[in-house]
Amino acid sequence: MRRTEVKPAMSRREFKHALAAQIEAVAMLVSQRNAAYAGADALKCWRKRGLAGLLVRLEDKLARFDTFIERDGATESEWRELLSDIAGYALCGLVWLAHGSDLSVRDGRDE
């Protein structure tokens, strides 16, 4: 990952606003994809595989990350999509922990 452009330092306030905008964009992406793939049941695929399914999806994303590194980079658009996917899966994992019924997670390890 080469960085060719150096931008001025971002203030904490600017970072906070930029972070909120990115979280909102990822949440919108997750909602759109969820509507397309899961229909009315937002946790449909999670009910089948629980957090183990998250690992499978993240492995796919990490393999793509490796490919980008091996080919000495990717377009900004490709990086954005990849990082948004990773962030989206992580957010879905947090929702699953809060609202799911994955017995392997709830078997006293976190209660």
Residue extents of the structural domains in the chain: 12-105
Tens place of pLDDT per residue across the chain (111 aa): 455 676 789 999 999 999 999 999 999 999 898 888 877 777 777 778 888 888 888 999 999 999 999 999 999 999 999 999 999 999 988 888 888 766 665 554 444
pLDDT at position 6:
67
Predicted model pTM? 0.77
Distance CA 100, CA 65 (A): 29
Distance CA 97, CA 27 (A): 17
Q: How many CB atoms lie within 10 A of CB 101?
A: 11
Residue 86 and residue 58 in contact, taking contact as beta carbons nearer than 8 Å = yes
